[in-house]
Structure 1
Amino acid sequence: MAPTRAERAQRRQVYVSMATELVIMAGTVMLAYYFEYTDTFNVHVQGFFCYDSAYTKPYLGPEESSAVPPILLYALVAGLPTLVILVTETVLFLVQYTSKEFDRLERTVATGDCCYLNPLVRRTFRFLGVYTFGLFTVDIFVNAGQVVTGNLAPYFLTVCKPNFTALGCQQALRYISHQEACTGNQGDILHARKTFPSKEAALSVYAALYLAMYVTRTVRAKGTRLAKPALSLTLMCLAFLAGLNRVAEYRNHWADVIAGFVIGGAIAAFLVVCVVHNFKGKLLLSEEPPPSPSPSQDHLPGGAVLNMGRVDASLEKYIASQNHIAFAEVT
């Protein structure tokens, strides 16, 4: 049977929507890649005062030597929410699937008339897709802030190794604004110019808040009244400790970490409230089937319904009474 005009229009609208989302996602990933791995955007060269105590903290080594190394942080940020969402959605789907008769459920085609997507797959892709988009968005916001501000790390002068004698810092407090003042490793110097806001703080809070709101809004099982708040507070505490570790190891200032917390928390709250609408959505794509018209209802040509139930009941009572009277007269 050939699809109708309305079905073709619906299918076209779904295809356009999917293509638009893919283009936006691809553009977000590419922009994050250019910020992270290329020199397309030059970091602002911020100056410093001679012997400024705010930038003379010791350098504790590369990021890999940190108590929370990047590989551990990124693995938790990417893997933990994905695992929790997959397991939770699977369990909820199986519980709801076994609690209803699947034959009574009304299929909803998610992508026009071309195919039928399992509701578990669609919900999981939706929540994880929005979460992934948010990760790249946080990365873009953080990298943009670091490139524009060029804020110096607390250990900047330690890796910069400026020649204060040649810069004339003995006689007066001078402000050094040219990049050639540093004689240290250029890679360490460049990294020390990209601290505001803190990427680690932003990503950790974003992942913790998104996952905490997902668990709080989705899990409705009995006995979780205290388990859900405990899990949510544990996630937020771990994110807070990740930010504190950045300050304790002199890799970020307090302002860098606070700005990262604000960015990550704001993006997570916006996506949860305005995009996935607090994780609302049906696991099984149907409601109870609409009640079929009873045999006592006759449909008129204009769409009106003539309810004959009360008339039929009165007629039956009248007939029963007449039969009773006739039976009494015979006897």
Structure 2
Amino acid sequence: SIPFFACELKTVKPYKRGFFCGDSSITYPHKEKEIALAECYCVRSRRVNSRAFIRNPYISSLYKELGSFLFGCCIGQSLTNMAKLSVGRLRPYFLTVCNVTYESLNCSPGDYVYSVKCNCTPKEEEEARKSFFSGHASFAMYTLLYLAFYLQARFSWRGARLLRPLLQFLLVMLAVYTGLTRISDYRHHPSDVLTGFLQGGITAYWV
């Protein structure tokens, strides 16, 4: 999709949004190391010539489900990249990674700062302008909720009535935990994560 390649090829820069002097939501520390989920997907298609592969009902069903899943991944990633590039919301650690303070900007509380010269690499500054919305929260909610829906449709073993809802609950809780870590690591604002949850959940339900 266009937003996906625009983000990956760096052909479009994120919108340079300003901020209000004294805004404490963008002064949090920057944690260098993180365990990141994959936010980009490269799908290499291969031609399947085996008739046995196509005629096998289980393999055929799995093949269709995988195609739907990857389609949803592309949709979700495109929406995420489009939002990050067009909104340009500053991450909670923006001023820290830019190595500037409100004192050095010589501004009064409440004044709007239209631009700032960051003392960091261009890549770090671009990344600090992509807070909205959380791709990790969106991807986690989409994949795990999609799997929960899959269990709802395919899991037919009646030996344990509570096993399926328990697995579904654990999957959703894992997605929520992933989003919450983005807040505790100062990578996103709470509203970024909430929007990511909504986008991922809606995409999973739609697909």
Q: TM-score scaled by structure 2? A: 0.86
**Deviation of the 1:118 alpha carbon:** 2.3
Counterpart for residue 310 of structure 1: none
Matched residue count: 196
C-alpha deviation, 1:195, in angstroms: 1.1
* Inter-partner Cα distance in structure 1 for 2:63 and 2:174: 26
Query: How far apart are 1:223 and its partner, in Å?
Result: 1.3
Q: Which residue of the other structure, out of 186, 197, 202, is the alignment partner of 1:266? A: 202
Within 5 Å, give how 1:83-94 maps onto structure 2. none
Pick from 28, 32, 48: which aligns with 1:57? Answer: 28
* C-alpha distance in structure 2 between counterparts of 1:255 and 1:44, whole Å: 19
Give 1:20's aligned residue.
Answer: none
Residue 168 (structure 1) shift: 3.1
User: Equivalent residues in 2 for 1:1-331 (5 A)?
Assistant: 28=1, 31=2, 33-61=4-32, 65-66=33-34, 69-70=35-36, 73-74=37-38, 117-162=55-100, 164=102, 167-169=105-107, 173-178=110-115, 180-271=116-207
Question: In the TM superposition, what is the alpha-carbon distance from 1:149 to its structure 2 partner?
Answer: 0.6
Q: Which has a greater percent of helix? A: 1
CA distance in 2, matches of 1:39, 1:219: 43
AA aligned opposite 1:233: F
Asked which structure has the greater RCO (Cα within 8 Å, sep 6+), the reply is: 2
Segments of structure 1 that go 5 or more residues without pairing to the other structure are 1-27, 79-114, 272-331
Q: In 1, distance between residues paired with 2:101 and 2:181?
A: 31
Aligned partners of 1:233 and 1:165: how far apart in 2? 48
**1:151-190 Cα distance to aligned partner (Å, 9 max, x none):** 1111111112236566432x56431112x53222322211
Partner Cα separation in structure 1 for residue 133 and residue 5 of structure 2 = 18
CA contact (8 A) 1:50 1:173 kept: yes
Q: Alignment identity in percent?
A: 32
SS at match of 2:38: helix
Amino acid paired to 1:214 = Y
Distance in 2 (CA, whole Å) between partners of 1:145 and 1:230 is 34
Q: In angstroms, what is the RMSD of aligned CA positions? A: 2.3
For structure 2, which runs of at least 5 residues remain unmatched after alignment?
A: 42-52
TM superposition score normalised by structure 1: 0.55
Cα deviation, residue 52, structure 1: 1.8
SS at match of 1:194: coil
Q: Which amino acid aligns with 1:131?
A: F
Distance 2:72 2:14 in 1: 24
Q: Which residue identity does 1:204 align to in structure 2? A: A
Larger Rg: 1
CA contact (8 A) 1:35 1:140 kept: no
